Each structure stands twice: as C-alpha cells, then as structure tokens.
A and B are shown apart, each in its own frame.
Chain A
Amino acid sequence: MILSLMFFTFSFAFYLITALLYLGHWVFKKKWLGQTATAMCFVALGSTTMILISRASESGHAPFSNLYESMMLFVWATNLGYLIMEYRHKFKVIGSVVMTIEFLAMLSASLLPYRFKSVEPLNPALQNKWHWLMSALAPFGLEKYAIGWLDFHVFTTFVGYAGFAISFGLSIIFVIKEKFEVSSKPNSFVDAFPDSRILDELSYRSIAWGFPFLAVGIVSGAVWANYAWGTYWSWDPKETWSLITWFIYAAYLHARVTRGWKGKRAAYLSIAGFLAVIFLYWGVSFILPGLHAYA
C-alpha cells in the first residue's frame, strides 16, 4: 500500500516538473531546459514503472483491474510512446503538450474516489490465466506470474489509448500551427513547432500504433468473453463506445488515403477520436452502467 502510494506521489511531482521543463524549453528555447526535461521524462517513466510493479506485488495480480491502475498503465504507455518518438524524431517541443496531458492524467487519477483506487482482490469474473503459459512457467516455479486474457486485453487497449493521446496532442498543435502557416504570421512560439506536414505524419504514425492495439484489445475482449461466458459481444456501453472509437479511427485511416482529408480534417477526426476515448474510458465508467462497471 505504502510503496505504490509513495511512487504515485513522486510520479505526480515528476510529471509536473517534466511538463514545466518542456514548457520552459518551448517558451525560453534554452537547450539545457530541453535536456533536463528529457532526463526528467525518463525519471518519471521509471517512477511510473515502479508504481505498476509495487502495485502488482501489493495486490498479487497484474495492476490492470480498476480505474486507478489502468490510469497508471495509460500514463506509463503514453510516456514510453512519447520518449520513443522523441528519440526518433528529436522534436522536444511536442513534449510540452504530451507531458501536460500526462500531468492532467495524474491529477485526475489522484482525484478519483477511494473505491476506484483501493487495492482489491480480483472478483471471480476477472480471474483468468493462460494454462499454456502456466504450464510453461511451472518448471521454474513461476506459474503465479502467468498472465491471462484480462492482462492482455487491458494492456493492448491501453497501449492503443496511449497512441491516441499522443496523436491528440499532435493534432492540437497541428491545428494551431496550420492556422499560422496559412496566414504566414510569424510567431516565435508557434514557429518552434515542426512543420504541419511533419505533425500530420507523426499524428498518423501514433494512430498507426494505437489503432491495431485497440483492435487487438477489442477482439481479445470478445474472444475472452466468448471463452468465459459464451458470448462475444453484449453491446454494453463500454463495448459500444470502444467500437465507436474504433469506427472514428478507421474513418481517419481511410480518409487519409484521399488527398483532401489529409491535414486539417484528419486532425479534427483525431481530436474527435480522442474525445471519444476519454468518454469511453471515464464517461462510460461513471455515467453508463454495464459489464465493465469495475473499470
């Protein structure tokens, strides 16, 4: 209990500092601020990893079973995804938006009511481990570390969400950047962002990661439901909203093939898609009751 809470408190501070450093780097354009920001981003990632690990050892199962735990997974995956992008493309200014999203995610997780945060044993419906994995790990005495459908389903879904979150950040920057490019007004803050063409491409790449992961998350959920309860799909609000999100991003990917839909319209679709994700994740959990009531 205490350990994961401690790491949460640390991470909360780390994300605030990281976001401020990236924002500082963007505003003051100091190289050392950018370098410190990246370093802090790694520290935050390590700290978030420790939340997940300590949480897992406290609860005795993979930390994917309630809203708070899945938030930590989301923050972790978004951070990792961002760092990979920064490593590959070296655009540190994007960090100021993505890390602000990360900080807001931490803030909202900290504001969750206690019943969404507490360490709970898994209820009967969520207990599932893959037999083949258990028997593969058994010779080493590690079978309690075997994972199952729950872990796979939640993990893939949240990697998907992380991709969409990054794309959302990029799309917001795109919309602003594009406005200034069209009017060709110089603005030192906006000029610091990469070209809209690059933002569009990066946004697409994030969705190209998010979309298959969400799809695998949805399909694995359906396959698991059929295995465990004998029904693939019940049209419960969470399922339906995940499908809505998936439709929006499918539309995004298909739209991008046509020339007229690249850029601005694609950016709006990506923003709409992430708003759907937020509703799918938080709205459905709090407003619409259903099978996924526990997360």
Chain B
Amino acid sequence: MEGNKPWYKGSIWYFLNSLKLTLTVLITLAVVSIFGTVVEQNQPVENYVAAYGEKWTKFIVYVHANDLFHSWWFLALLTLLAVNIIVCTFERFPPKWKSLLNHKPEGKFDSKLIERFSNNQTVTVSAGSDAVKARMEAALRKKKFKFVTLGSRGDWCFYAWKGAVGRLGSDFTHISLLLILLGAIVGSFAGYKDYKAVYVGGTLSMPKADFEVKLNKFWIDYYESGQIRQYNSLLSVIENGKEVMQKQIWVNEPLYYKGVRFYQSSYGMAWSKVEDARLSLKKKNKDTPEKPVVIPWETLTKIPDSKYSVKVVGYTADFAYDEKTNQVYSKSPEASNPAVRLEVYEGDRLVSTPWLFMKYPGIFPAIPNADDDLVFVTFKPTMYSGLSINKDPGTNIVWAGSIVMGIGFYLAFFVFHRRIWVQVKDSGKSTEVKIGGMINKNNFVLEKDLKEIVDSVTSD
C-alpha cells in the first residue's frame, strides 16, 4: 500500500487533513468574529470616523472590518474550514465504512492484549470453566453485545463488540454541515429575494413566475392591552385568471406557492390612493356644512341636495407642489397634509378639477363662481401590505442536512464503540477470568459495562 499513494496525497493534502488546521481555523474564526460584533457592521464611513478617528477608519476599511462577514478573507477562512471537513471526510469515512461492513471479529487472539488495556481486571470464580463460559455468554447477551467465542474447552476466549456505528457519528455531523452550507449556497445563487408593496385590492404580478398574487385584505390584531398582536394579509393566488388558492398570512406564517414564499413584512397607508373621501356640501347661506358624503375612489357620485356630482381622481398624503415642473407630489408617505383631487360635474359638464385640503378647508373654492362649496372632511385610507418575496430552492437541502446532523450527533455523542476481550481459563477447582477492553469515548460507560459483566459472572 505504501508508495502506492494517489497523486493528490502530498503535503498539501495532509495539511488540509490535519487537526491542527481545524483548531487553528476554528479559533481564528471565533476571535475575528468577535471583532465583527464589536465594530458595528455596514455603517456609513462617517460613523466610523466619529467613533474611531480617521486613522483607525482607514484601517477598518482596509481590512474590511466594516463588512467583516462578507469580506474575502472571512469567506476564505470559512472555505478553508469546509475544505478541511471535506478532506477529513474523504480520508476517514471510507475506511471506517469498509471496516464496519466487513467486520472480522476472528482475529488473532492474544490474551496478553487484555492486560495492556487501561481498563482490565482479573478475577477468580469458584466454578467450572464451562459454567463460567455460559455465564459470560449470558452476561454479554444481556448487555446486548455481539460476540464470538474462540478457543477450546478449558481455555475459552471471547471477543465482544457494540456500537461500532457510533464511529460514523463525526462523519455524519461533518457531512451535515457541508449539506447545510450547500443548501445556503444553492439558495443564494439559484433563488431570489424581493420586496413589493401591494394595495388592498391590488395584484402583484410575478415576472419570474406564471401566477399573480392578489391582496384581498390587510388588518392588524390587537391584544386587550392595546399592544399589537399580529399583522395579517389575506392573499389569493391567481393563475390563468382563476383563483387557485387563498391564504391568510402573518409574521411567521408565509404563503408558499410553487417554490415561492410571500412573507408579511411591513404595512402602511398608501400615499397616492384612498379607499374613499368624505366630502361635505357647504351652502353659502348656511354656517355649517351638511352631513359628509362618502365618495368612493374613482366613482362618480351625486352630492345630495345639489346639482353636482363628483369623482375622486387623485390623492396626496403630504401635499407639495413643484413650481418648476408644475407637478404635485407627496413630500413623505405620512398623511401630514392630505389632499384629494376632484372632478366636479354639473350634469355631464366638467366644471372644475380642484385640490381640496383636509387641514385647510375653504382656502380655494371647489367650484368657481358658485353658491355651493365642498369641504374635504376625512378619508378612509387604502392600506398596503409590504411583502417579502423569496424563492429558495436550497431549503430542502438544508432540511436534509439538519436531519443528518441529528443522526450524526446521536451517533457521535450517545453511541459508543466498545470492544471487550475475555479469557476464561480453567485453573483447577476455580476458573480465572481476564477481561479488558476499550471504548472510543466516555470511559465511564466501559467501566460500568465491565463491572456489570464481572458482577454477573462472579455471582452465582
């Protein structure tokens, strides 16, 4: 076998396979990650200058400490760890697997071997060797050991083993880490993330998918104390013009359809649309306006007791006017200065298109040269729901990795490979029992096993 090594097994291979590398990388990762939490990440450069001064900022930017976890050298360290794991798995897993499959218990049995184990003892039993042999077999069976009996009458030997599969635990754990990493990589390259705001009643067309999502309703649940309990959206999936699915989503409960997830991520009032506006008619000869009338968005509505019909055609949450471009815009998304634009009809004739301001009633007449005026009293906002959209084809790989990890941990930490050698030798009236063994970890378990076996062999 020696001298017949594959080409790649040079010094680099052994370096990548070494435990020293593992320890170095793990401890380096731990130490540098601390800096990533102490230095705030992804801040504007001014913040670093303010906190650390110019010189240190230069250094921070130079070593990418402001975005440490995405810097090339941090990724290189993670890659090194992954390569280390891959090489170790290649090196250790196949031989272990083979020896598990062709386990040959009948090897050379050397009774001197027993005395070399740190766990060994010799006891004398006052019974015939046949009886002791039978007891030993019963004890091993009771402890669920597999075993072979060798030798001949008066000088029996046993080799017993249990939990050999536990040796694969570390490999399973390593493979699971690689799977989880792979799943995350697949997700970030083959998937996509997006964010869209949808008005209640509006639809979201998905450019990368052949279906649409409609927001039917958005609402907030409250606890009795007034704290927010949950944000909810009622979504419909529409495919080829037909609704194929309806689901209420909330934070922690996304809609999943054809590999794409829709998450409740934010909400708010629309700044360019309202559900309806409430307008009051104010007659010239009266001091107080009439009762408000509900005017739904873009729907021509008759104002009672007047010759006018109105339609709400525009809305701005925080009215502002740009003189250069002659355009109306919203300074902010908050309804700080709400204004509606109307089309006022007298019969079929459009008589005016005024802006009405909720906070400044009557500063401009709604209808020029008329006896009646309109007052913008209040409105019902159109809510929008902010949806995060995410397609992540790596999720299943991550799940598989998690399951393998569970199995790996169980095998690595709770299944122990125990091997026990026993010699039962006739020495006149009594029988001498030599027993010893080894375990891959957790010596207590082996000590306990040996003690129990010896106890059940020595007691009648």
Contact = CB atoms under 8 A, between A and B. Distances in A.
Q: A and B, one complex?
A: yes
Interface of A: 88-89, 120-121, 123-128, 201, 204-205, 208-209, 211-212, 215-216, 219-220, 222-223, 226-230, 232-233, 235, 237, 240-241, 243-244, 247-248, 250-251, 254-255, 257-258, 276, 284, 288
Nearest to A148: B252
Contacts, number: 117
Nearest to A283: B37
Contact of A208 (B26, B405, B413): B413
Contacts of A248: 26-27, 30
B101 interface: no
The 9 closest A-B pairs by CB, nearest first: A230-B390, A212-B409, A247-B30, A124-B251, A251-B26, A128-B252, A228-B252, A208-B413, A237-B37
A237 B33 CA distance: 10
B272 interface: no
Nearest to B389: A230
B22 interface: yes
Nearest to B265: A229
Contact of A244 (B34, B184, B254, B263): B34
Nearest to B26: A251
B36 interface: yes
A222 B231 CA distance: 22
Interface string B411-454: 01100000000000000000000000000011110000000000
B248 interface: no
Contacts of B29: 244, 247
A288 B27 CA distance: 22
Interface of B: 19, 22-23, 26-27, 29-30, 33-34, 36-37, 41, 69, 180, 184, 187, 193, 223, 225, 227-231, 250-254, 261, 263, 265, 388, 390, 392, 395, 398-399, 402, 405-406, 409, 412-413, 441-444
A209 B23 CA distance: 21
A126 B41 CA distance: 25
A201 B228 contact: no
A237 B230 CA distance: 26
B16 to A, nearest CB: 15
A205 B439 CA distance: 14
Contacts of B69: 235, 240
A205 B442 contact: yes
A197 B261 CA distance: 53
B409 A121 contact: no
B402 A223 contact: yes
Contact of A125 (B34, B252, B402): B252
19 contacts: A88-B444, A123-B227, A124-B231, A124-B252, A215-B409, A223-B399, A226-B395, A227-B254, A228-B251, A228-B254, A229-B265, A230-B193, A230-B254, A235-B41, A240-B37, A247-B27, A247-B29, A276-B30, A284-B37
B403 to A, nearest CB: 11
B228 A124 contact: yes
Contacts of A233: 184
Contact of B30 (A201, A232, A244): A244
Contacts of B261: 230
B256 to A, nearest CB: 10
A216 B409 CA distance: 9
Contacts of B230: 124, 127
Say what secondary structure dominates the interface of chain A.
helix
Chain B residues touching A, majority SS: helix
Given A124-B229, A212-B413, A219 B405 contact: yes
Contacts of A215: 405, 409
A121 B229 contact: yes
A208 B406 CA distance: 13
Nearest to A243: B33
B409 A230 contact: no
Contacts of A237: 37
Contact of A124 (B36, B37, B250, B413): B250
Contacts of A258: 19
A206 B27 CA distance: 21
Contact of A121 (B37, B41, B225): B225
B36 A251 contact: no
Given A216-B409, A219-B405, A240-B37, A254 B22 contact: yes
Contact of A241 (B26, B37, B225): B37
A123 B193 CA distance: 25
Contacts of B405: 215-216, 219
A219 B180 contact: yes
Given A205-B444, A247-B29, A248-B26, 19 more contacts: A121-B223, A121-B229, A124-B228, A124-B230, A124-B250, A125-B252, A126-B252, A127-B229, A127-B251, A201-B442, A201-B443, A204-B442, A228-B251, A228-B254, A229-B263, A230-B388, A230-B390, A241-B37, A254-B26
Contacts of B444: 88-89, 201, 205
A250 B252 contact: no
A201 B119 CA distance: 15
Contacts of A288: 37
B406 A216 contact: yes
Nearest to A288: B37
A178 to B, nearest CB: 18
A252 to B, nearest CB: 9
B40 to A, nearest CB: 9
A222 B22 CA distance: 24
B399 to A, nearest CB: 7
Contacts of A89: 444
B392 A230 contact: yes
Contacts of A222: 398
Contacts of A120: 227
B87 to A, nearest CB: 14
B442 A257 contact: no
Contacts of A123: 227-228
A232 B253 CA distance: 16
Q: Which of B193, B250, B252, B254 has the most A CB atoms < 10 Å from its CB?
A: B252
Contacts of A257: 19
Contacts of B402: 219-220, 223
Contacts of A223: 398-399, 402
Contacts of B231: 124
Contacts of A121: 223, 225, 227, 229
A208 B392 CA distance: 33
Contacts of B252: 124-128, 227-228
A127 B230 CA distance: 8
Contacts of B398: 222-223, 226, 232
A211 B413 CA distance: 9
A159 to B, nearest CB: 13
Contacts of B26: 247-248, 250-251, 254
A168 B375 CA distance: 73
A228 B253 CA distance: 6
